[in-house]
Amino acid sequence: MPRTARDVVFVDGVRTPFGKAGPTGLYAETRADDLVIAVIRELLRRNPALPPERIGDVAIAATTQIGDQGLTIGRSAAVLAGLPATVPGYAIDRMCAGALTAATTVAGSIALGAADVAVAGGVEHMGRHPMGEGADPNPRFLSEKLVDESALIMGMTAENLHDRFPAITRQRADAYAAASQRKVAEAYAAGTLQPDLVPVAVRSAGSGWGLATADEPPRPGTTAEALAGLKTPFRPHGRVTAGNSAGLNDGATGCLLAAEDVAAGLGLPARMRLADYAFAGVEPEVMGIGPIPATETLLARNSLTMDDIGLIEINEAFAVQVLAFLDHFKIADDDPRVNPLGGAIALGHPLASSGVRLMMQLAREFAERPQVRYGLTTMCIGMGMGATVLWENPLYQEAA
């Protein structure tokens, strides 16, 4: 039977507060799947008009799919969250773009008509499962010189970017990082980020039970001058530091996507309309440039230029990676379109979960800027990839 693709909308998104990975972090004694459960339950609580049985699928990403991040986590978390047994689920891995890929994958199902509504998200508990835990890279990568050994260490790929683009100095990277911290502090002070957070019960053997209600990684008051004194762990006299990179973090995100007509019929909000998306591959040694070809492909396919894009949410894995993107598209380091609420350098980057955080922040920015029609969520991906999603603002009002 002939099928017609349906428009897909972003209905809502929530996330746990992000924690610092490690034995003293927020979630040191909290399971990864329990973070996902909290997110799914909160999505349902916030959207009571959605009958749970209307959810057609649950796609949850994790980069390290073992332990409490394994067992087909989309399905297991759905069952544990109390969704009907009839709701299926699955797991996704595209490293840092896991949640973003979960969203685009279920969007394809919705557009085709295989589902009307779906949950997409991601989780990473880097304290329990450090990146690469249990991995066994094929020795052919190095023995046959398919990649340089630096390709397997993300911090080294960032140093490689500094080598390739000498105009991106450590001073610029530190200044960008300090600005990200400042923007997050301002967003917290204005109460802008808090509505997207679901409080999570946390346990510590030493201090008992508590409640996580705010992100742990931000460092308000950070200055570029203070960042200049940090060590460069990936290379002697290098340019990449803990201060101009995202940290090691724990956290989960989730969102509801739906066919636009179904959302309207159920009385659910349409906060963003998915227009298009693109993935691209690049040299693994400089994986940070991945968002550039992905974005170029997307703009060309939709007959747009960067001048048509009113908001850009780019994941801040490393400041140098963001600055390479900005330089390529001739965007100033302090362009107000870019990460207005701050980014991962301050908030944290629990790998597979971050893509949906970008979407949540873009949706919030769209609501405040009806003059903006198009926005991007974009990120680099380990092993040499990039991903970009083009979103349209349903509230767009063309200037008279």
Which sequence positions are flagged as catalytic?
A: 96, 349, 380
CB atoms within 10 A of CB 199: 13
How far is the C-alpha of 42 from the C-alpha of 30, rounded, in Å? 17
Q: How many CA atoms lie within 13 A of 380 on its CB side?
A: 30
Q: What residues form DSSP beta bridges with 90?
A: 59
| Distance (Å) of CA 86 to CA 57, 103, 247 | 10, 20, 38
What is the distance, to the nearest Å, from the Cα of residue 166 to the centroid of all Cα atoms in its chain?
27
CB contact set of 51 (below 8 Å; sequence gap of 6+):
none
Closest CA to 57 of 88, 101, 14: 88
Instruction: Tell me how long the chain is.
Output: 400
What phi-psi label fits residue 245: left (phi over 0), alpha (psi between -120 and 50 degrees) or beta? Answer: beta
